[in-house]
């Protein structure tokens, strides 16, 4: 049982309890679930090391929840949860994924119309039976119908941020085998797409059978779907499918190219090969029957008369044309980032204090961070009052002295109101080094309205960065209607950086929009939006998105030398 699976159980318990109108317990279960989710080690290890006492040391986990965790670890099941599910025999997870449907409405639909799952819900909505229920209406019914497709899409493709650690774990497991010469996740994961269908892992080995047996015995395997002599498929936790393909070491380059794709990119490469009288397959570049390249990807591209193309670019979005004319970007590297622009602490809705975040940043070798707690009207997120801000800034100044090589910017994330004003007074904004403007409510506006809202905010002289610009959440919520051309142009004029929010389910701006922003001449800022020290590692996802957007160092302000960065922040 992985942390995430236990987390899912507790979230579902919370939902069911809320449907039953139970007070306070839902909050307790959610709090515990979130604490477990952001643990840095497997909860089984915590339990093994310190037993139930160690579980109770996790904030939000008390005697009762610790007992339940213990039961899950020991038996793989939770009696209480099974019983609870029987009392509410509906697909809580699926229905809850429909935007606008919470526990209360879901239970209404079940009691009045017997709706148990998405199919029931769709039928009832199409037959207009929902609009007549008390508390529901025509608009709600329409929203539900629109939301069903979004809910169905969830679960089909997994977030890159969740798949990546699983893939890395399998890779390092495979590399421990003597039969494995090399192992590398390929496919959309290697291209760092924002969502992943399944994980494809390529292995170089002269002993495929040994590798097969070894692979299907990976500890996290739940079920072996197929197992042949050079190919196998398994399910690991979270119903994630992992496919493996074993090839000979000398075919490594051509096989890696083939299995990385994208399909369209590979098709274009094969066309080039044909024109040169060559043939490209996973086994190599062939001249007649003779292999002229196969050992490394560089060899393969060179044989086709092209420079090496980074995996993140292989989407047939002009990279081959650029390669031909030596116009490929010099992509920003995963080590080029000097700091992180967005993080929260216990001053608003984060889990760690300023000093803990600074220490974590120091361990990452950062030169700067910005502490950007919530300011404004976001009550749930503990938005800070003026007094609290002053207190926090004094603390940051104090802590700054302990970190001579880490610049800690005093920042804040401020609500952009519907009228485009920042939800904080000028005398507050003036004291911050970094001011984020973000939209946190009112997502339904029309394109012109939303674009005006943001452009108006850009006129405020204190804002420097627009946070999660489109407000989309992958598999959860569509982007707000925006005229991005207008927003990007205005951002450029006012010297406002646009964020690539690196949270796994946000990645906002996404790759395509970031590329457009760069082409307009905008600067981008990568922020993890970390709510705990653990989240800082998501920076990798933000950099991946930037690379997919063809970003070079000069486009990303995280890569600026500190002096230049400070000058940029002066606007």
Of 65 and 196, the one with the shorter C-beta distance to DNA is: 65
- Measure Cα distances from 312 to 49, 188, 301, 550, 551 in Å: 41, 9, 15, 8, 11
Of 418 and 430, the one with the shorter C-beta distance to DNA is: 418
CA distance 200 to 218: 15
Least gap, CB of 187 to DNA (angstroms): 30
Hey, CA dihedral for 443, 445, 447, 450, is it positive or negative?
Answer: negative
Helices (H), 296-385: 297-303, 319-324, 354-363
Residues whose CB is less than 8 angstroms from the CB of residue 492 and which lie 6 or more positions away in sequence, other chains included: 520, 521, 522
**Residue 299 DSSP SS3:** helix
Relative to beta strand 434-438, strand 407-415 is parallel
Of 70 and 198, the one with the shorter C-beta distance to DNA is: 70
CA distance 517 to 333: 19
CA distance 266 to 258: 7
R_g of the chain computed on alpha carbons? 26
- By CB under 7 A, name the binding residues for DNA: 23-25, 27-29, 31-32, 56, 59-66, 99-106, 131, 134-141, 143, 349, 377-382, 417-418, 440-445, 473, 477
Of 473 and 537, the one with the shorter C-beta distance to DNA is: 473
In the chain, the N- to C-terminal Cα span, in Å, equals 50
- Measure Cα distances from 413 to 265, 374, 439, 553 in Å: 40, 5, 10, 25
Least gap, CB of 421 to DNA (angstroms): 11
Least gap, CB of 56 to DNA (angstroms): 6
Least gap, CB of 502 to DNA (angstroms): 16
Question: In the numeric block, which tokens belong to residue 261?
Answer: 């794709």
Q: CA torsion, points 452, 458, 463, 464, in degrees to nearest 10?
A: 120
Of 95 and 455, the one with the shorter C-beta distance to DNA is: 95
Least gap, CB of 32 to DNA (angstroms): 6
Question: In the numeric block, which tokens belong to residue 45?
Answer: 């290890």
CA distance 333 to 559: 10
Do the Cβ atoms of 361 and 369 come closer than 8 Å? Answer: yes
Least gap, CB of 378 to DNA (angstroms): 6
Of 330 and 441, the one with the shorter C-beta distance to DNA is: 441
Least gap, CB of 76 to DNA (angstroms): 20
In sequence order, the β-bridge partners of residue 233 are 226, 243
Of 278 and 503, the one with the shorter C-beta distance to DNA is: 503
Least gap, CB of 486 to DNA (angstroms): 21
CA distance 499 to 273: 40
Of 96 and 339, the one with the shorter C-beta distance to DNA is: 96
Of 131 and 317, the one with the shorter C-beta distance to DNA is: 131
CA distance 442 to 445: 7
CA distance 407 to 434: 12
Of 299 and 413, the one with the shorter C-beta distance to DNA is: 413
Of 63 and 427, the one with the shorter C-beta distance to DNA is: 63
Tell how far CA 460 is from the center of its chain: 30
CA distance 409 to 368: 7
Element (H, E) at 110: helix 103-113
Of 380 and 427, the one with the shorter C-beta distance to DNA is: 380
Least gap, CB of 438 to DNA (angstroms): 9
Least gap, CB of 70 to DNA (angstroms): 11
**Residue 100 DSSP SS3:** coil
């Amino acid at each position: 049982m992985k942390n995430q699976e236990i987390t899912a159980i507790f979230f579902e318990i919370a939902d069911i309890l809320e449907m039953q109108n139970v007070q306070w317990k839902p909050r307790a279960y959610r709090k515990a679930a979130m604490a477990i989710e952001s643990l840095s080690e497997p909860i089984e290890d915590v339990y093994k090391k310190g037993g139930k006492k160690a579980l109770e040391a996790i904030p939000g986990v008390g005697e009762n929840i610790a007992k339940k965790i213990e039961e899950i670890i020991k038996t793989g099941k939770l009696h209480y949860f099974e019983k609870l599910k029987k009392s509410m025999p509906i697909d809580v997870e699926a229905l809850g994924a429909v935007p606008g449907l919470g526990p209360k409405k879901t239970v209404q639909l079940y009691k009045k119309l017997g709706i148990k799952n998405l199919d029931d819900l769709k039928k009832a909505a199409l037959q207009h039976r929902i609009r007549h229920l008390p508390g529901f209406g025509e608009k709600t019914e329409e929203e539900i119908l629109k939301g069903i497709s979004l809910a169905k899409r969830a679960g089909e493709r997994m977030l890159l941020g969740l798949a990546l650690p699983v893939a890395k774990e399998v890779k390092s497991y495979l590399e421990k085998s003597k039969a494995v010469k090399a192992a590398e996740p390929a496919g959309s994961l290697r291209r760092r797409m924002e969502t992943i269908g399944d994980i494809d892992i390529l292995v170089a080995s002269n002993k495929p059978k040994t590798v097969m047996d070894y692979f299907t015995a990976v500890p996290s395997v739940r079920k072996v779907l197929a197992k042949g002599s050079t190919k196998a498929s398994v399910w690991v936790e979270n119903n994630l499918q992992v496919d493996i393909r074993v090839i000979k070491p000398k075919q490594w380059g051509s096989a890696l190219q083939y299995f990385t794709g994208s399909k369209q990119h590979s098709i274009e490469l094969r066309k080039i090969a044909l024109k040169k009288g060559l043939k490209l397959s996973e086994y190599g570049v062939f001249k007649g029957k003779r292999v002229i390249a196969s050992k490394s990807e560089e060899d393969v591209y060179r044989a086709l008369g092209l420079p090496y193309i980074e995996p993140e670019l292989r989407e047939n979005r002009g990279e081959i044309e650029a390669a031909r004319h030596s116009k490929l970007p010099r992509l920003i590297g995963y080590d080029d980032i000097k700091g992180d622009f967005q993080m929260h602490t216990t001053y608003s809705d984060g889990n760690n204090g300023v000093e803990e975040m600074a220490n974590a940043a120091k361990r990452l070798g950062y030169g700067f961070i910005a502490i950007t707690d919530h300011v404004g009207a976001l009550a749930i997120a503990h938005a800070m009052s003026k007094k609290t801000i002053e207190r926090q800034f004094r603390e940051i100044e104090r802590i700054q002295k302990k970190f001579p090589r880490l610049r800690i910017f005093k920042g804040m994330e401020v609500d952009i109101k519907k009228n485009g004003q920042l939800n904080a007074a000028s005398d507050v904004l003036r004291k911050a080094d970094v001011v984020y403007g973000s939209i946190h409510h009112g997502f339904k506006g029309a394109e012109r309205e939303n674009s005006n809202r943001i452009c108006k905010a850009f006129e405020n002289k204190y804002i420097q960065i627009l946070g999660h610009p489109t407000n989309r959440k992958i598999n959860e919520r569509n982007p707000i209607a925006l005229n991005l051309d207008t927003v990007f142009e205005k951002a450029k004029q006012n010297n406002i950086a646009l964020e690539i929010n690196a949270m796994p389910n946000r990645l906002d701006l996404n790759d395509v929009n970031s590329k457009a922003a760069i082409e307009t001449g905008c600067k981008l800022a990568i922020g993890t939006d970390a709510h705990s020290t653990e989240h800082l590692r998501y920076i990798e996802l933000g950099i991946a998105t930037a690379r997919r957007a063809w970003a070079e160092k000069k486009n990303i302000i995280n890569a600026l030398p500190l002096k230049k960065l400070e000058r940029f922040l002066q606007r």
